[in-house]
Structures are given as structure tokens and as C-alpha cells.
Structure 1
Amino acid sequence: MNDTGNGRGSMAHPITIDELAERLVAGADRARQIVALAGPPGAGKTTTAARLEERIDALAPGVAATLAMDGYHYDDRVLVPRGLRPRKGAPETFDVAGFAHMLRRLRADDEDEVAIPVFDRDIEIARAGARIIPRTARIIITEGNYLLLDREPWRSLSFDATAMIAPDREVLRQRLVDRWTHYKLTPEEMVAKIDGNDMPNVDLVLSQSRPADYTIRT
């Protein structure tokens, strides 16, 4: 397993969630591991992270915990003055330094518990201190669009294992349509959201991410 992927030109190893869980648990008696699940919008990262945590918990109860990159969205109070509200979810709308600091804090493994932020999609706000990661958690699953993005400051993020979740582009688009339909966007808002923001972010992740150790098909 490599720090930030295998480097350009190498092939990621296809793996199932069950296989990945078994590999991670095999090393859970050593130093705390940070595992990155990357993928474009609509790839199913949150669901995959929850399933991976569930599988790990079945093998070694209490060993896994999840940190979502979405908890580090800038608030609208920052995005609106910067003219970035329509691009919420793009790389420049995240507090990457804050996220990196949390990864270092978790890797240090010197606190009994660490409070982390959780993004509430229903109200488009990150809730501070909304989840606790206890010291007993030896495998930290972190998920987000840009964890393997090949540009700074994202390139400096460090992980012990990486996996890319990348369904077909048209599957991603349909999932995004389903997502925003649930939130009752008008047709005009839907076009602006998907074609003006989500799909450009999809293409960015698919074309400019560093290779992962593993690929997970959903």
C-alpha cells in the first residue's frame, strides 16, 4: 500500500468491499491506518464508506470510523462573498488545510477521542463536532471527490491505502439527476447544478486524479 497511490501510468487493482475490509483488518493491530475512498460526484462514496465500515466492524468490532471530506465545505458566508456559491462542491470550495490538519491529528493517535465535522446536505451546512472518533478506531475511512486530485494542496494529502470508485459517466449523471430531483429543484436549477457544476467536477476527478491502489466498481 502506498502513501498517495501508485503514481501515473500504473494500474489499480480491482477489489471488492469485502476483500478490502479483510486486508485492512489484517493490519489493524499496527499503527492507525488512514484509507482514502475517492471518486467523482454521484459515485456512491458515502454508501461505499458505510458498507466498508460495516464489513470491518463485522470482522473487528469498533475498529473502523469514517471521516467525510464534505465536512470541510466552506460555509456560504465564505462562498458568497468570494463568488463561489454556484460552484459549491468544486475543489476551491473546501478547507483543504483544515482537512489535512484533521488527518494529521488522527494519525498522531494521541487523544482519547476526536470530534469531527459532518456535512448536512439537507441544509447545506457542515455541523462542527457532529461525530466522535474514539481512540479505539484503528482504521479511518475518509471519502471525498478530490482526495487523489493531482494538484496542490490536494496532492500533499497522505494516506496508507487508496481506492477509486468510478462508475460510468452516464451512470454518474443519472445518479446526480436523481439526487437533485429528491431536493425538488426546478428544471432550470437542475441544469445549472448538474451541467454548470457537478459534471465539470465529475470530469475533473476522472481526468486529473492520481492512480489509486485499488478500484471499486459499484
Structure 2
Amino acid sequence: MASSPPDAFRHPDALRHPDVTAAVAGLRARLASGNRILLGITGSPGSGKSTLAAGLHAVFGAGTAVVVPMDGFHLGNAIINGTPLRQRKGAIDTFDVGGYLSLLQRLARRDEPVVYAPDFRREIDEPVAASIAVPASVPLVITEGNYLLADRPVWRQVRAELDEVWFMDTPPDLRLARLVSRHVEFGMDRPAAEEWAAGSDEANARMIESTRPAADRIIPWC
């Protein structure tokens, strides 16, 4: 992780918003107990989850926080290629939720010297195993992903492992523009990126937005 927060996190409006400063202050207070805190950050595709997670990592420091993205549990392309899942990559049933739950349970127990978590590499569009080290000494684990509040079997167990879940509240037009730009950055041409964002991503977004009332905090973003 970078040693300074990304530009979006350093934006004065984002940092000065009372809901954001209150959320960070509350997190600091919880960490004072010495217990490990598992913080979930959720929201629709393009809402800024990874940006906020990276910003929090920079604010708290590498010795205090580590980011473990849910995206590390995407089903591999070898599994979904040639199936209907390929056209819905990113939908809730294209993740190994059992594997993700097992990881969260290990992280919550905090009884191993280090736990290795997978990451997702957008440049190759694949998860990569054992790419993130989480030492037992690190008290704050930040995990970000689309479906942390989903009211479905196993996903409810995922929610139970998390001490708090924050929901990203981002204007739809801004979220969509960010999403298209991200798809283009990682290899799609713009028409294909716009089609994917308005199709598969938007279908996922509608489902994710329905989980918003279950969040502990709503985080405004700009």
C-alpha cells in the first residue's frame, strides 16, 4: 500500500464531512480496546470502496491496518469461462463466499502468527492466492466488497464476522463515470465499458443498494 492516501481521500470535502470524521474517530475509539476490529466497506461498483479502504490504511498506518479485498475470492476464469457466469462476472454467485467466510473467521480468531489472503489483479483479471500478509499484531483489518450486507445464506455469516460495515453513498452519475473509466483503464474499449457498466454492473448495483439499510454507517463520497 502507498504511504499516503490517494487523491480522492485527501479531497478536503471528503475528509471534512462530519460523517467521515465521526466514522474515523469511532474506529479509533474501538481500536483503543486492543481487540482486533474487522471493518467492512461496501457499496455499488464504482462507489469508492477501494479508495476509502486505501485512505484508511494510510491514515492508520501499515502497522495498524491491512486491507483484504473480497475481490480476492472472484471465481477464476478457468471456472467461469465457457459458462453463463462469464457474462455476469462480479455478480454475487461468481464469488467463493465459503472461502471468504473461512478467511474472515481465521482473521477474527487472531490465533495464527500470520494469515495470507488472496488479492485480485485487474491487469490479469484474476485472483492471486496468498498475496496479502495479515500478521496477528495488526489490529485493524479492512475488507471491502459488494455483497457484505447481502441477506443470503453464508453471506449472513460473513456479516456476522464483521464488527462494523460502512456503506458508500456516491452520486450515481459519478459512480458510473468512475466505473467506465476503470474498465477502460484495464483493457475494455469505451463502448464495451459503457455497455458492461450499464448492464451487468448496474444489475449488481440495484441488488447492493437494497442492502444499504443494514449498514452501521453511511459514508458520503465525492
Given the superposition, is the C-alpha separation of residues 188 and 207 from structure 1 closer, same or farther in structure 2, using an over 3 Å criterion? same
Q: 2-side partners of 1:51 and 1:214: how far apart?
A: 17
Instruction: Kindly report which structure 2 residues correspond to 1:46-195, keeping only aligned pairs within 5 A, or say none.
Output: 46-57=50-61, 62-157=63-158, 158=160, 159-195=162-198
The structure where helix makes up a greater share of residues is 2
| Segment of structure 1 superposing worse, 99-108 or 174-183 | 174-183
Q: Quote the residue 2:210 is aligned against.
A: 207
Pairwise CA RMSD? 1.7
Q: Quote the residue 1:27 is aligned against.
A: 30
Question: Aligned letter for 1:173?
Answer: L
Q: How many residues of Structure 1 are paired with residues of Structure 2 in the alignment?
A: 201
Q: Quote the residue 1:4 is aligned against.
A: none
- Which structure 1 residue ranges, 5 or more long, are not aligned? 1-13
Question: Aligned letter for 2:157?
Answer: S
Report if the CA contact (8 A) 1:21-1:55 is conserved. Answer: no
Question: Aligned letter for 1:100?
Answer: L
CA drift of 1:76 comes to 0.9
| Segment of structure 1 superposing worse, 120-129 or 29-38 | 29-38
Q: Quote the residue 2:45 is aligned against.
A: 41
Q: Quote the residue 1:9 is aligned against.
A: none
State the structure with bigger RCO (CA 8 A, min sep 6), 1 or 2.
1
Q: 1-side partners of 2:86 and 2:53: how far apart?
A: 27
CA drift of 1:209 comes to 4.3
Report if the CA contact (8 A) 2:184-2:190 is conserved. Answer: no
Given the superposition, is the C-alpha separation of residues 20 and 187 from structure 1 closer, same or farther in structure 2, using an over 3 Å criterion? closer
Q: Deviations over 1:7-58 (max 9, x none)?
A: xxxxxxx721x4333322222233211111111100111110011122222x
Q: What percentage of aligned pairs have identical amino acids?
A: 33
- Superposition TM-score, scaled by structure 2 size: 0.84
Q: Quote the residue 1:197 is aligned against.
A: 200
